Amino acid sequence: MNDVIVAATQNKHKIKEIEAITKEFGLSVISRSEAGIPDIDIVEDGETFEENSYKKAHEIMKLCGKITIADDSGLEVDFLDGAPGVYSARFAGVSGDDEANNKKLVGMLKDVPYEKRTGRFVSVITMVFPDGEKIVARGEVEGHIVLEEQGGNGFGYDPLFVPEGYDRTFGQISPEIKNKISHRANALHALREKFKKKEESL
């Protein structure tokens, strides 16, 4: 499995997390810019993580002709009926404004007791092959939302999310531990198993 895979995302944090995990499996990841793909915006207008993940991977694969991997991820809060969900990155209106997104989330949960502030991070990773075949894997990690940002590691909602079984947020947990227990790690491990079955069936 010494394939070079193109990452559809432009998020350096995501590429770093994906690369930290995929290298264990002999899969090297290069960014869109390294693959020589022009800087284009792909509209994430899907209603599910699966739809957005596939759209990003498929569009980039058509441009580069190589195996492409795309992740769509977000936070689902039970008290908010699954919001922000697919709108996680642009929850407050501007895509990628972590500070504004976190502030809005805290504001919506400020009167909710801790035991009811449950939710999960979800990651759906799609690998699209030049022949049109695809592999889709979903990973989740359950946890609770806190009302004050804690820790400087990670990105997005990480400083507000305490994974089940831990007493620290993703913002406080080391990247090494996060890369073993995160939603993205779970999705990548599921992807690996599906990829292995594909290889074995050839």
Angle CA 5–176–156, to nearest 5: 75
Token pair of 151 as six digits: 């820790």
What pLDDT, on the 0 to 100 scale, is given for residue 13?
79
The tens digit of pLDDT for each residue in 83-134 reads 999 999 999 998 889 999 999 999 999 999 999 999 999 999 999 999 999 9
User: Is 72 labeled as catalytic in the residue annotation?
Assistant: yes
| Structural domains of the chain, count | 1
Provide the CATH number for the domain around residue 187.
3.90.950.10
β-sheet with 134-145: strand ranges across: 28-30, 4-7, 68-77, 118-128, 134-145, 161-163
Grouping H, G, I as helix, E, B as strand and the rest as coil, residue 172 is coil
Which of helix, strand or coil describes residue 142?
strand
Regions of the chain with pLDDT less than 50 = 1
List the domain range (segments joined by +) for residue 53: 4-201
- According to the model, what pLDDT value does residue 202 have? 66
pTM above 0.85, yes or no: yes
* Coil, helix or strand at residue 44: coil
Active-site pick, 72, 98, 111, 158: 72
